[in-house]
Structure 1
């Protein structure tokens, strides 16, 4: 089973609050998860971590791992949660060999910031649902993967999960995490999956035909969870500034989403530039380094060549994105990026047609 990676277009940081919007895109680079039934014990392997494989057995319905020091935390969380769903659906748990192969990191293991942990989580849930023949819709897949991912990361909007599940360009509003925490204590998993989650919304967007997405990688990875933690701390220290940022981001994103509905490239570009300024202001009062020197250079070069540019995701490294009219020549832009040590990622948007 495959799950695509993602990139944030706009709305970062504000989207971690329930009901606040972001625009995210799924990409044509994937995590592939395969499962083969086995006897007496199971294994978990990854092409990216060939020196580390996990062997596991069962103690009743619980997975018991022989070596706990492993890079598969999100994957293991997805297994635990999906097997809870399988048990609730009356399935008998089995042994299996699970294999993961990811296109979302470089060959030397560096992360591009394309949501590899989310795609691994989604791919694992999808593969196990098929293996156990469980009833699954995109909404159920999102909720299962979101819970599993949140159990490990502890924060974030789960927009990368949404992009991996629904595909294409999406307008995403996060759900109320506190509500989910309280309901998990009160409700069986199947009932929780059937509920409408407060604040959660996913709208598929159709980009203007002449809109082109360019992606540049700075070569410097960043930790989303750590950066979000720092902004969360700053929010408690300056609540007025933070509330102003949230409202400004919501207004900006609502106009940008309408620009997609209207097919208006000029509006989309204008609001992307404004969202960059809002993130720069957030960085200034939170003291979180969102736009690095390399990302600033990436954006400046793109703006000089007619594109609207900003950081993507939490910033602090990883990728920047450019939205530009297809009629604009980009060869010089890409050459200037290369001169500054910025790698162009030759990726395109992936539209999820079904659950396979």
Structure 2
């Protein structure tokens, strides 16, 4: 029996801009996990997941035709990870075997609602990692990221893949996304082994060390959101308002570079200022794209936090899910949490998952 786990994540800053090649973001890994168990099987293989097999399926109309959208069905990421990793294993001369795969997740609420902690990314990383161990394939963080990123992109089709990076590396990271157009072209011309062995254009993943007095608090609105659908909506608007969108990218990049410097300097004040600035930048994006990033509940959550001397913003694509608060750990938070509760906001008792050592995970 092989057992592996991959942590969930939350975006701290740089959302939406990070889907563009080379634009920076900050993401944190959390101590809630997807766990995958794999064991040899003799007669037939199985994939068992109590959370994901009966996930919701979205669909739309294209003319009179019903078109399924599988991007929010996490089971499809498991299948994609299996196909991709087995292709990689075969390219390395491994013989295929039968196995039972069991998946369990902490990343959704007990009643099945999504917290927005990156379950599809974590299940992709955990599945790839488990299969590489099963087929005795030597693995580095770089190779695990690349295999998982390709498998995830095959299903979702958009996004930055920063959630994959957080699940692979752990801790706090600064992430700049690779050139997805290059990857699409390279996959047509290169073998999978060559692809994962080479540097990817513009990809940069750097571990960050937070100041000792920084405390991360996470609030959940109780309303799930679809990242892929929200990113689609922004993509439509950016093509129509490219001058305004390019200004958003410029402002986001400057803000994130200042934020990353704040981490390097160990300055909580600089980090909090950067979080507040990024909130303003995202609100401007919401205004001109007509995409609701900060819902009324998220706004209430952030405003209450600011009243308690904290910095706060939505996390990820917004539209629901979670918000993040960065506050001095010496500051009392009871009043803030009580006011959240009165406004239907739940504090999630999550901690940062430390930097990952592949040999010990």
Pairwise TM-score range, normalised by the shorter structure: over 0.9
Decide which of 193, 198, 220 is 2:196's aligned counterpart.
193
Decide which of 38, 43, 47 is 1:44's aligned counterpart.
47
Asked whether the 8 Å contact 1:231–1:286 carries over to 2, the reply is yes
- Deviation of the 1:51 alpha carbon: 6.8
Counterpart in the other structure of 1:327: 330
- Deviation of the 1:47 alpha carbon: 2.9
- Deviation of the 1:48 alpha carbon: 1.8
Counterpart in the other structure of 1:119: 122
- What per-residue deviation string (whole Å, max 9, x for no partner) do you get for residues 13-34 of structure 1? 0000010000000000000001
Counterpart in the other structure of 1:292: 295
Q: TM-score of the superposition, structure 1-length normalised?
A: 0.94
Counterpart in the other structure of 1:341: 344
Task: Give the number of aligned pairs.
Answer: 339
Decide which of 203, 222, 225 is 1:219's aligned counterpart.
222
Asked whether the 8 Å contact 1:165–1:352 carries over to 2, the reply is no
Asked whether the 8 Å contact 2:304–2:340 carries over to 1, the reply is yes
Counterpart in the other structure of 1:66: none
Counterpart in the other structure of 1:85: 88
Asked whether the 8 Å contact 2:159–2:231 carries over to 1, the reply is yes
**2-structure distance, mates of 1:71, 1:242:** 31
**2-structure distance, mates of 1:110, 1:319:** 12
- What per-residue deviation string (whole Å, max 9, x for no partner) do you get for residues 175-208 of structure 1? 0000000000000000000111011000000000
Partner SS for 2:100:
strand
**1-structure distance, mates of 2:355, 2:300:** 33
**2-structure distance, mates of 1:266, 1:129:** 43
| Unaligned stretches of 5+ residues in structure 2 | 56-72
- Deviation of the 1:41 alpha carbon: 1.6
Decide which of 133, 136, 155 is 1:133's aligned counterpart.
136
- Deviation of the 1:354 alpha carbon: 1.5
Asked whether the 8 Å contact 1:5–1:116 carries over to 2, the reply is yes
Structure 1 residue ranges (4+ consecutive) displaced by more than 4 angstroms after TM superposition: 49-52
- What per-residue deviation string (whole Å, max 9, x for no partner) do you get for residues 10-66 of structure 1? 0000000010000000000000001011123211011325779xxxxxxxxxxxxxx
How do residues 101-250 of structure 1 correspond to structure 2 at under 5 angstroms? 101-250=104-253
- What per-residue deviation string (whole Å, max 9, x for no partner) do you get for residues 83-132 of structure 1? 01100111000010000000000111100000000000000000000000
Asked whether the 8 Å contact 1:176–1:199 carries over to 2, the reply is yes
Partner SS for 2:163:
helix
**2-structure distance, mates of 1:265, 1:354:** 27
| Unaligned stretches of 5+ residues in structure 1 | 53-69
**1-structure distance, mates of 2:181, 2:291:** 25
Partner SS for 1:120:
helix
Asked whether the 8 Å contact 1:25–1:170 carries over to 2, the reply is yes
**1-structure distance, mates of 2:42, 2:190:** 33
Q: 1:313 to 1:49 in 2, by over 3 A?
A: closer
**2-structure distance, mates of 1:134, 1:10:** 34
- Deviation of the 1:344 alpha carbon: 0.2
Asked whether the 8 Å contact 2:216–2:325 carries over to 1, the reply is yes
- Deviation of the 1:134 alpha carbon: 0.4
Q: TM-score of the superposition, structure 2-length normalised?
A: 0.93
**1-structure distance, mates of 2:249, 2:87:** 36
